[in-house]
Structure 1
Amino acid sequence: MEYVTPKDKATEWGITQRRVEILCGDGRIPGAYRLGRVWAIPKDAKKPLDGRTRKAKESQKGDC
């Protein structure tokens, strides 16, 4: 499996590098793990839903 850095995913997803690191730390990106001070993210990882959007809130209601 190939891995990329948070900087690469931030560019791909159109968000900041820090936001990607927070998503990794919260366990919201499956397969991501830490190598010292740097996160390794699977190259094929999908962007998690933003919990602040209506779409995400509606999907969370269905989970209960």
Structure 2
Amino acid sequence: MKYVSTTEIGKKWNISTGRIGTLCAEGRIPNVQRAGNMWLILEEAKKPVDARIKSRKYRKQPND
């Protein structure tokens, strides 16, 4: 089990290190460890699924 930093995972997943820190804090990336002010993530960790709504069903429809 090798741990890597948010910078290395960010390059691998093509997302910012700040976003990775947020995902770690929310518990969306399993088996992470906090070392001081740094997150340590398993090298084999999978990128979490995007949880944003994509169906557009949340938008209000105009009154007919």
- Interval containing the TM-score (normalised by the shorter chain): 0.7 to 0.9
Q: Do structure 1's residue 9 and structure 2's residue 4 form an aligned pair?
A: no
Following superposition, the deviation at residue 52 of structure 1 comes to 1.1
* TM-score, normalisation: structure 2: 0.80
The number of residues matched between the two structures is: 55
Q: For the aligned residues, what is the CA RMSD?
A: 1.4
Matched letter for residue 6 of structure 1: T
Q: Do structure 1's residue 42 and structure 2's residue 42 form an aligned pair?
A: yes
Gaps of 5+ in 2: 55-64
**Match of residue 19 from structure 1:** 19
Within 2, Cα distance between the matches of 1:38 and 1:51? 24
* TM-score, normalisation: structure 1: 0.80
- Greater helix share, structure number: 1
Following superposition, the deviation at residue 25 of structure 1 comes to 0.5
Q: What is the percent sequence identity of the aligned residues?
A: 41
Gaps of 5+ in 1: 55-64
Which 4+ runs in 1 deviate beyond 3 A? none
Within 1, Cα distance between the matches of 2:53 and 2:12? 20
Within 2, Cα distance between the matches of 1:53 and 1:20? 19
